[in-house]
């Protein structure tokens, strides 16, 4: 082989090596995106499940047995959250989930951290937080994982309606 053919062979090997590296990089990037998507779907499912569970509860501890007719009868904004004797298994109203946190480590794919906040809101400003009572509560559920850089945040609004 002369020097021209050797240079041509080296050039072909270089192009082949660069092509293999580019294909490997694309495969790794695709797998990372797919894995992040799977974790995102799982985190969304965990948040949705918590929202559904809380939405089945009474609006307020004071509406559990009887209807209320004035805002003064509702739990104060500072009093949202579970009573001292309540555990997640015995929560009976929506705002008991304020401050709720859970670490899920029993899934085969990843670990997740869930945090929940419940606040009173005004229908005119659903993104704000009231320091007074209202007929509307908002739950914000955040789900994060060390396996992904994204934090999933879902929210729902639960309103109290009573017709006489």
Whether residue 100 has pLDDT greater than 60: yes
- pLDDT (tens digit, 9 = 90+) per residue, 5-28? 888 888 888 888 888 888 877 777
Contact 75, 160 (CB under 8 A): no
pTM for the whole thing? 0.80
- C-beta separation of 116 from 140 below 8 A: yes
Measured CA distances, 46 to 101, 103, 149 (Å): 12, 11, 17
Each residue of 133-156: pLDDT tens digit?
999 999 999 999 998 888 999 999
Taking the CA atoms of 66, 86, 81 and 99 in sequence, report the sign of the dihedral they define.
negative
Tokens 């990843």 belong to: 110
């Amino acid at each position: 082989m002369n020097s021209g053919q050797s240079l041509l062979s080296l050039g072909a090997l270089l192009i082949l090596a660069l092509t293999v590296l580019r294909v490997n990089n694309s495969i790794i990037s695709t797998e990372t995106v797919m894995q992040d998507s799977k974790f995102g779907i799982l985190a969304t499912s965990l948040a949705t499940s918590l929202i559904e569970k809380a939405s089945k509860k009474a609006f307020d501890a004071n509406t559990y047995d009887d209807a209320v007719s004035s805002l003064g009868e509702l739990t104060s904004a500072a009093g949202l959250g579970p009573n001292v004797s309540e555990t997640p298994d015995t929560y009976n109203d929506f705002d008991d989930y304020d401050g709720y946190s859970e670490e899920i480590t029993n899934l085969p794919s990843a670990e997740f951290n869930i945090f929940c906040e419940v606040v009173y809101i005004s229908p005119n400003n659903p993104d704000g937080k009231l320091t007074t009572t209202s007929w509307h509560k908002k739950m914000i559920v955040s789900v994060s994982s060390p396996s992904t850089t994204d934090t999933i945040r879902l929210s729902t609004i639960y309103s109290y309606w009573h017709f006489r």
